[in-house]
């Protein structure tokens, strides 16, 4: 079967994902603070810049990008009152039994293995930093999906760091020995548009 679906360039999706987060008031630095809190006890020399670089790596993954774009779109449509009844009321009120927000965010963390899954569970329960802010927002803003998506990004970035730590250990190094742009080796590929 011939598939003539238009292919969207990766860079376009990556940029759209970052723009969506920023539009919703979520900076990479705010997510990095959570990642730092999760991983600094286990990683000598880890800095916020290393954490930001790890988040950048996570945001290049299609699984995460798609989850983020879908979730943010639904939050925004709900804010504009554009969902149909009863989904509008369910998303608007972040109904206790509505678990699709967690399910989408959890689905995206599987890419990064068990450390990402357990970290996501921890963040979902304890809601630190910007996750807490998003969860307790007052007024018209709706963050039903966004708080879980941020937990997902932070969990994935934490897992990447944990795995990178093991690689460093095997080379007799720690995060003290590497610059942020060396956090994820694939970012050093020559000519990579990232
Ligand atoms: Mg939620």
Cα angle, residue 72 at apex, residues 67 and 77 outer, rounded to 5°:
130
| pLDDT tens-digit series, residues 20-58 | 999 999 999 999 999 999 999 999 899 999 999 999 999
Please classify residue 113 by burial: count the beta carbons closer than 10 Å to its beta carbon, then call 0-12 exposed, 13-18 middle and 19+ buried.
Answer: middle
Q: How many angstroms is it from 184 CA to the middle of ligand 1?
A: 29
pTM score, two decimals? 0.89
Sorting pLDDT into bands at 50, 70 and 90, what band is 177?
A: confident
The pLDDT of residue 5 is 79
**pLDDT of residue 179 exceeding 80:** no
Cα of 142 to ligand 1 centre, how many Å?
10
Q: Cα(186) to centroid of ligand 1, in Å?
A: 32
Distance 164 CA to ligand 1 centre (A): 29
pLDDT of residue 169: 86
- Cα 101 to ligand 1 centre (Å): 5
Domains of the chain as residue ranges with CATH: 10-183 (1.10.3760.10)
Residue 190 pLDDT class (50, 70, 90 cuts): very low
C-alpha 98 to ligand 1 mean position (Å): 9
Q: How far is the CA of 34 from the centre of ligand 1 (A)?
A: 17
Its sign, for the CA torsion 70, 130, 159, 122, is negative
d(C-alpha 78, C-alpha 87), whole Å:
9
Cα(193) to centroid(ligand 1), Å: 33
Residues comprising the chain, all counted = 194
Q: What DSSP assignment string belongs to 65-125?
A: HHHHHHHHHHHHHHHTT-SPTTHHHHHHTT-TT--HHHHHHHHHHGGGHHHHHHHHHHHHH
Q: Please report which confidence band the pLDDT of residue 185 belongs to, taking 50, 70 and 90 as the band edges.
A: low
pLDDT in tens, 120-176: 999 999 999 999 999 887 788 999 999 999 999 999 999 999 999 888 888 888 898
Q: What is the pLDDT of residues 59-92, one digit of tens each?
A: 999 999 999 999 999 999 999 999 999 999 999 9
Neighbours of ion ligand 1 (CB under 5 A): 101, 144, 147-148
pLDDT of residue 178: 83
């Amino acid at each position: 079967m011939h598939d003539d679906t238009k292919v969207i360039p990766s860079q376009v999706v990556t940029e759209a994902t970052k723009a969506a987060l920023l539009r919703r008031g979520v900076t990479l630095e705010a997510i990095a603070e959570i990642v730092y809190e999760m991983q600094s006890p286990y990683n000598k020399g880890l800095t916020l810049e290393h954490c930001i670089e790890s988040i950048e790596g996570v945001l290049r993954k299609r699984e995460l990008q798609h989850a983020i774009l879908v979730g943010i779109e639904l939050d925004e449509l709900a804010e504009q009152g554009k969902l149909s009844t009863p989904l509008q009321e369910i998303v608007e009120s972040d109904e206790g039994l509505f678990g699709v927000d967690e399910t989408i965010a959890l689905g995206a963390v599987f890419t990064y293995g068990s450390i990402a899954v357990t970290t996501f569970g921890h963040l979902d329960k304890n809601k630190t930093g910007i996750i807490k802010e998003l969860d307790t927002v007052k007024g018209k803003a709706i963050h039903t999906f966004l708080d879980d998506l941020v937990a997902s990004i932070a969990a994935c970035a934490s897992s990447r760091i944990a795995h990178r730590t093991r690689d460093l250990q095997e080379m007799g190094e720690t995060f003290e020995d590497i610059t942020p742009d060396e956090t994820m080796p694939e970012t050093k590929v020559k000519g990579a548009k990232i």
